[in-house]
Each structure stands twice: as C-alpha cells, then as structure tokens.
Chains A and B, each alone.
Chain A
Amino acid sequence: MSVQIAFDKVKGRQQALSLSNNLKITLALEYASKDFKIAVNEELEGPQLINGDNLRLIDTDAILRYILNDFEGQRSDEYHYALSSLESLFQKNDIPEQHVEACVSKSLDNYLLSLEEPLSATRLITFANTYALRPELVQKKFSELPKKITDALQACKKLSPRSSEDFKR
C-alpha cells in the first residue's frame, strides 16, 4: 500500500500540539510494516495522510491507528483520558501549570504504566500526548525507552522549531 503523509508545520500553534502531532507521525513511520510505502509530502502544511482519492485523514491519532492497523482500545479508559483530558489541553491557553502537571501525573500513574513492546496504538497515543505536555516527567519515569520511540523522538526534534529556551542554552 502506498500513502502520502505530511507533518504538522502550521505556524502559531501551541508547541505541545505540534510536538504531539509530529511525534505520532514519526511513531507511525517507525512502526509501519515494511509493505507500507510512505512518502513524505513536504508541500502540505497541516498533518495529513492521503491514500489516493479514497482516504484523507487530518487527525494524527487516526493516522497512527491506520498505519499500525490497530483500532483496538478506542472505548478504553486510557484512550478517553489520553484524548479528553490530555489532548484537549493542547487547544487551550492559560491552563494553570498545576493542572497540567496533575493530568500528566495521573497519566503516568494510571495509564502509561509500561512501554514494553509490542506497543498498541492506544499506548503510543497516550505516550505522545503525555510526552508533549511534560517530556521531563516522562523521561524521569522511563530512563530507557524502546529504540523505535527513541528514533521517533530524534526524528521529531529535527522537525520541531526550537524554543527560546533552546537558544538560551
């Protein structure tokens, strides 16, 4: 199967949203089976997957699920939490720090319990959303990450614009 995929290059978005979107796409590329031919479309701005005239996806959770062919767990508590409590924060401004940290801690304590392979699409989505909000807390819990996740994070770093903090360093 041959598809085109585009990263999130939309300017002015919340950094956590761009990071989460691009991380899900790099994870999809890492975990895609070899028979899946994926070409990166550099011209499109928003995150997208296009499969001919049949399919266009703009949601990176669905893109990851489609490439992994894993649609399980969409009614699980973990998935509901990952979307309605974590991912919904990406769209909002001025959320108190303590609230974000409490949501991330809840994810780490209750859902992101293990990153042992094989990883489901649901778990990768929980990981990407939690990591995008507080990478340092995820790294603190998981001193060693699976190689595919490490590679996806590396690829993602090359895409994401550097923050002012990076320049200071």
Chain B
Amino acid sequence: MQGAEHPAQPVIQAQGVSLTFQTADGPIHALKDVDLTINQGDFVSFIGPSGCGKTTFLRTIAALENATGGRISVNGQSPDQARRSRAYGYVFQAPGLYPWRSIAGNISLPLEIMGFDKADRRQRIERVLELVDLAGFGGKYPWQLSGGMQQRASIARALAFDADILLMDEPFGALDEIVRDKLNEALLDLWRKTGKTIGFVTHSIPEAVYLSTRIVVMSPRPGRITKIIESPLPRNRPLDIRDSAEFIALAHEVREGLREGHGDD
C-alpha cells in the first residue's frame, strides 16, 4: 500500500469550492475558492484557527454541508452520491457512542443500518476491535471505558464498513496529551495497515506534522487555503521522530504559514 509506487490516484478533488452561510448579520464566507486534490492513501491534515473553514471543508466532502460554489468530487462522484454509497467513515470530536449499546453493539450500528448480515457483522466487529487495540472489550459498555478508549471505539465504528476514506474532525481534541500521543501513534499504524485515505482536522501543529503526508494550512474570513505543505517525513514514523530536525523545521514552516494567514487581519 505504498502510494508513492503507484501513479497518484485522486480520490477527492475540489475546484474553486465556496460555501456562504446566509445569516441575519449578512453572508458569512465559510469557504472561498478552495482548490485541493487528495490522492489515494494520503493523510491530509487541515490546520488553522477557528473559523478558517477546516471543519466546514471536511463536512462538505462528507455532504454534511453543501458547497454554494465550485465543484467537488469524491471517488469521481458528487459528495452526496459518495455519502449514499457509503464512501467514507466520519469520526467526530466526541465519540457519540450510544450508552444503551455495548461497544460491539455500537460498532454494529452502522453495519445494521447498511444491512450486513449477522455473521458478517460479528466478523467485522472482531476485526476492527483488533485494529484499534480494543480486542476483548466488545461486551463492555461505553461508561466502562476511558475517554481514549471510547474514541478508539468510535474510530472502529467508522472503519467497520470498509469505506476507503476516513474523515476525522478533531478526533483527539478532547483528550489529554499523553492519551493523544498514543492514539496518534495507533492511528498512523492503522493507516499504514489499511491504506486508507485520511482527512484530519486539528488545531495542534505537532499532531498535524506528526501524522500527515500533506498539511493544509487555512485561514479565516473568508475561509481559504493559504499554504499546502508536503511532508518529507517517511511513512514509518516512531514517536521520537518529533525530536528530529526535519520535524522541527516542518513544524516551524506550518507555524509560519499560520502567521502569514493572519497577516491581513
């Protein structure tokens, strides 16, 4: 699953995407002229201050918002067609597990909705629980797990139906740094194993640099892309890569990019 060995396959393509919310105080330009191509197997992070449209852009890819201008395609389809064909799994900041369902029951939920049969569901639940290192916890209820474990269960839920795209909206934003480090490492591991294409919203510079193959720096009013940084880091990244000179230089570049975006405020 080394994307570099194959010709890059575009999975998500955005051209001149704009999204304007009409509010009582006048229009808000959440996104303006966003151009971006995400290739098969990319790990793309979106970083920027609040209001820069990073979450809105992710939601637009997922057809949870509709662009008011420009074109966007997911797997060659419109975002809504892609949503209907269950092209992506979405992970929110909160785990959003149902307290009345066990962990296995929660992972089973999208599978039931999509009509997988019982034996298949059981097999898939086993597999994704293993992927997120929660094997044996299927029978537990959400309240019995720590916040980090709950979030891993919600990632397992997003993986269970084998969508090729994983969209993550600040999935570790509510967790403490130690847990976050562990989950970042686990997520990279999972990405290497599954070859998924990942869109990842964050406002942590180290997180973006550690995880991504590309870092998209965005800025607000109007929400737009100010810089796209290709990461020179190898796909195989131990946690201590964060002490390397390359990593620090990259983090510096991202920080500069964020500062430039603020220049016209």
**A and B: real partners?**
no
